[in-house]
Structure 1
Amino acid sequence: MTKLFATTALVAALAMPAYAVQPAEGETLAETQTYTYWLLDAIKSLDPGKNTDVEGSDVLRQLFEGLMNENAEGEMIPGVAESYEVSEDGLTYTFNLRDANWSNGEPVTAEDFVYGWQRVVTPAFASEYAWYIELMNVANATQVIAGEMEPSELGVRAVDDKTLEVTLSEPTPYFINTLSLATTYPVPRALVEELGDAWIQPQNIVGNGAYTLASHNLGVEIVMQKNPEYWDAENVVMETVRGVTVNDNNVALTRYQAGELDRVQIPAGQFPRLEAEFPDQATSVPYGCSYAYVFNLSEKGPEVLKDQRVREAMALSLNRDVIVDQILQGGQRPAYTWTHWAINGFAAPEGGMQDMTQDERVERARELLAEAGYGPDNPVRLQLQYNTDENHRLLAIAAQQFWRPLGIEIELNNVEWAVHTDRLQNQDFEMARYAWCADYNEASTFLDWFRTDGYNSGKWSNAEYDQILAEAATAEDTEPLYRRAEEILDAEVPAVWVYHYAKVDMINESIKGLPTENLRNTWYAKDLYRVAE
């Protein structure tokens, strides 16, 4: 076996305190160390095996810790794993775990990871993220998820309490990058088996992260306190972390300006003004998420969407420049691919609609609709579903206006986040607003979403596409494969790409340690501190 480390950052981290938070020269720590941030929606689940959204991930990252974490630049650094070794054939990873405890004082063991991973792929558990373990190419994941093998046959085992061995089905260059996601976190088996779903209630939950759950008033606020049992607790400065749910972004901004929140998303169109007025608080950085309108192409979807010409016409005629330059105005970019432009090693295909003028796109859209038998005298009628948020509403209205002159009549349907995701999961929609945020910094995190057996809410399917992604999993040069995958998406139009995100926030100047160079915006409260004003 060859001993390897994830990055030079990991080697450095082994030689010094990995997470020591130190104020910069001239800074003085505030007497009260609290951080209060904005949540748009209620946290759907605090179970690492059931979480599917970004806001849930932000909370779980504080309450639990996986094998690896990310630094401020998005590089992988030690979490519970102090080091790891990789076999010569690239198929076996052996992780050496540090001395770490659960919040109840019991030691975290390799078996806790084995149980957590096996639980995710167990069919009866019905995790919406079971496919992620398959994406990691953990041996036998596909067969276990399909019910053809027992969970105990998943390629993960505890050699002893401090040694975790993971076997892959094929060498996977990005494997280490997948290990900071909540889906891969350890889970306390005895507690789960004793309490069932109630194990995540505030009075019961046990985690191994830098914080413990103090309270959770669903849809109102969630409060976390520093965990004295965390292995690096002496270097954690921030004492209390609060997430406050405010469904109206404009109201949330008002509460930020009143001093009630330390971080809030800037509403659409307001960044230029706020940047001019508050240059030290208004921020915009690339953020690895892509926004789209997904078509339901399953048997439950509308017949009109089965016609590729209709889908292409809708993609062509959406005016992305108006959306990013006149509505959002926060540094976002028009999207002509599903994969975010800033993802490591990604090169978008050349040609296509991005090289056409908007007038040329609209004219081609009219031609396609006419060929399909539609137009103002025989309109396409569809319902567009989006979850509650002012930005989503503004964009949906804009899309409605772009499409109406062509003979595409859109009914808007606004629902709460939990309802929205449930309907997506069950294909109970016609077309729906959706966004995907990278689970790791590599193009497959986007492209695997549209695999036939991926998350793929619209149930589009293409055999060539699936084969390309299978080849890309082990290819030395993935760029041409990923480019071809995007070309297939461009030709078949399973969704309308709208824009690539930027993280556009107001951040209290006294809060330090939030990352600005991590494309996934992966933040850890243990790395934050508040300075005296």
Structure 2
Amino acid sequence: MPEAQVILQILEGLITVDSDGNSQPGVALSWESTPDFKQWTFHLRHDAKWSDGKPVTSHDFVFAWQRLVDPATASPYASYLTYMQIENAQDIIDDKQKTEALGVKAPDDYTFVLTLSHPIPYLPSMTTHQSVLPLPKHIVEKFGDDWVKVENHVGNGAYKLTKHVINEKIEFVRNPLYWNDKETVIDKATFLAIQNPSTDVQRYRAGEVEITDHALPPEQFPKLKAEMPDQVFTSRTLGTYFYEINNTKAPFNDLRVCKALNLALDRNIITDKVLGQGQMPTYVFTPTYIAEGGAIQRPEYTKLSMKERNQQAVQLLKEAGFSKSNPLKFTILYNTNENHKKVAIAAASIWKNNTGGLVDVKLENQEWKTYIETRHNKQFDIARAGWSADYNQATTFINYFLSNSSNNLAFYKSSVYDQAVNESYQFSEATDRMKAYAKAEAILAADAPIIPIYNYVNPRLVKPYVKGYEGKDPQDIILLRNLYIIKH
């Protein structure tokens, strides 16, 4: 998510959002679909310009979307166009067709047409995502991968990139060529790379930071809330914190082991005692409060008392061959962060206590880049993971565990799950889709390839003189152009 916050300042897609997360016209002024929702046409505004003065055209979108699925790009978000059901997207990713076969066309400079393989009535909301923003074709072709360097970068967002010091800061200035620049107020802004939430709070208190990142130290949270209640925002977001199990590795290819770990983890201790900021325990991957997620049911075992769940977990572990003298041993991998460490320490202790010593857990932390590589290379037992919605609709979660998904780092593969998800794309009625999502989520819970833990809230501090942030966007996207500073 942090990279999305940067990208969305300097690039703007077909549709954007207001401070409450509602869709608003971006580069597209208007759009419509055929009655079967399988073709969408976007009409682009003529006053959208790149920061070098060249017009933003439909050809820039065609170029960007073709580049996204091109195997040569190797984008981790290539699957997004498959989720959008863009015609031939998966075949191109699999190198079975050329990028030109992608179902995107530019009949003229200001018309962008999408052809889908299945109906998607909610498609416009999917176009706000950072992976489907336009790219300045003339700049990318000139500089190649170096187009993202500050000295070469050209964008179409409300801000321009002026400085990037790796692991330290990114600086922006207002883009006077942005089509809606007259509504922008803040002239300059800096994003700081602060990994430690305690440091973030210290710098906020010292007046060096106006808005903190979306993580506050749990042990400081009650004091902060008491001291500065009008500066603490805890917005419930469309996100799930979970442990992904390496399903390719023994003993995690034994369903009894995965079920036992789900049964014996007391999520309430983590949400109430360890974090205590309003996070809600969850036993399913998809937040049930997301659009079209309301039919999803919690697994049957959640009706049992914790004592009964622990008894079942012990029984399953014993059946799988584990005992006090031969406990289930594994390592939890997490990216370096105080809060992830606290959750991992708690989870390790809960599992050990609730199984009477049948589970023995070690912890390992890695810096972000290494942690991502380790997961991609399947060199882990269980890893901390989190997923935040790319758009407000259930498929942003449901698609994650498809066998061919580039996001699926639990390496879970189930043709039954795939079929349930694919069925949902046959329906134009929301109630039918909701039943399909509930079915898919039930299959996921039964197969237990992950351990869902809680749904996110994003606690952050915002100075009282910063206005335009209400904490109401369920995706918690902060666009600088929506903010302003009052006299203080």
TM category, shorter: over 0.9
Counting only pairs closer than 5 Å after superposition, residues 407-426 of structure 1 correspond to structure 2 as 407-426=358-377
1:93 alignment partner, one of 32, 40, 49: 40
How far residue 377 of structure 1 moved from its aligned partner, in angstroms, is 1.5
SS in 1 for 2:152: coil
Q: Which residue of 2 aligns with 1:531?
A: 486
Q: Which stretch shows the higher mean deviation, 265-274 or 125-134? A: 265-274
User: Contact (CA 8 Å) 1:123, 1:145: kept in 2 or not?
Assistant: yes
How far residue 384 of structure 1 moved from its aligned partner, in angstroms, is 1.0
The separation in 2 between residues aligned to 1:474 and 1:278, in whole angstroms, is 50
The separation in 1 between residues aligned to 2:470 and 2:323, in whole angstroms, is 48
Q: Which residue of 1 aligns with 2:167?
A: 219
Counting only pairs closer than 5 Å after superposition, residues 119-518 of structure 1 correspond to structure 2 as 119-264=67-212, 265-298=215-248, 301=249, 303-347=250-294, 348-405=296-353, 406=355, 407-454=358-405, 455-475=407-427, 476=429, 477-518=432-473
RMSD over aligned Cα, in angstroms? Answer: 1.2
The separation in 2 between residues aligned to 1:510 and 1:356, in whole angstroms, is 48
Q: Give unmatched runs, 5+ long, in structure 2.
A: none
SS in 2 for 1:65: coil
User: Contact (CA 8 Å) 1:512, 1:528: kept in 2 or not?
Assistant: yes
Q: Which stretch shows the higher mean deviation, 119-128 or 399-408? A: 399-408
Q: Give unmatched runs, 5+ long, in structure 1.
A: 1-53
Listed one character per residue, the Cα deviations across residues 93-135 of structure 1 (whole Å, up to 9, x for unaligned) are 1111112100111110100000000000001110111100110
The separation in 2 between residues aligned to 1:425 and 1:69, in whole angstroms, is 31
The separation in 1 between residues aligned to 2:188 and 2:423, in whole angstroms, is 46
Matched AA of 1:402:
I
Q: Which stretch shows the higher mean deviation, 515-524 or 158-167? A: 515-524
Matched AA of 1:345:
E
**Is 1:105 equivalent to 2:57 in the alignment?**
no
The separation in 1 between residues aligned to 2:138 and 2:300, in whole angstroms, is 55
How far residue 515 of structure 1 moved from its aligned partner, in angstroms, is 4.1
Listed one character per residue, the Cα deviations across residues 202-235 of structure 1 (whole Å, up to 9, x for unaligned) are 1111100000001000110111110011011111
User: Structure 1 length as normaliser, TM-score?
Assistant: 0.88
Matched AA of 1:469:
V
Listed one character per residue, the Cα deviations across residues 159-198 of structure 1 (whole Å, up to 9, x for unaligned) are 1111111111111122111100111111112211221111
The separation in 2 between residues aligned to 1:523 and 1:353, in whole angstroms, is 38
Q: Which stretch shows the higher mean deviation, 262-271 or 335-344? A: 262-271
User: Contact (CA 8 Å) 2:283, 2:298: kept in 1 or not?
Assistant: no
The separation in 2 between residues aligned to 1:267 and 1:484, in whole angstroms, is 37
Listed one character per residue, the Cα deviations across residues 44-92 of structure 1 (whole Å, up to 9, x for unaligned) are xxxxxxxxxx000000000000000112332211000000121233221
How far residue 351 of structure 1 moved from its aligned partner, in angstroms, is 4.9
Matched AA of 1:369:
L
Identity of aligned residues (%): 36
Matched AA of 2:373:
D
Runs of 4+ off more than 3 Å: none
How far residue 428 of structure 1 moved from its aligned partner, in angstroms, is 2.2
The separation in 2 between residues aligned to 1:426 and 1:343, in whole angstroms, is 31
The separation in 2 between residues aligned to 1:375 and 1:114, in whole angstroms, is 58
Listed one character per residue, the Cα deviations across residues 127-163 of structure 1 (whole Å, up to 9, x for unaligned) are 1111001100111111111111110110001111111
SS in 1 for 2:201: helix
User: Structure 2 length as normaliser, TM-score?
Assistant: 0.96
The separation in 2 between residues aligned to 1:433 and 1:413, in whole angstroms, is 10
SS in 1 for 2:190: strand
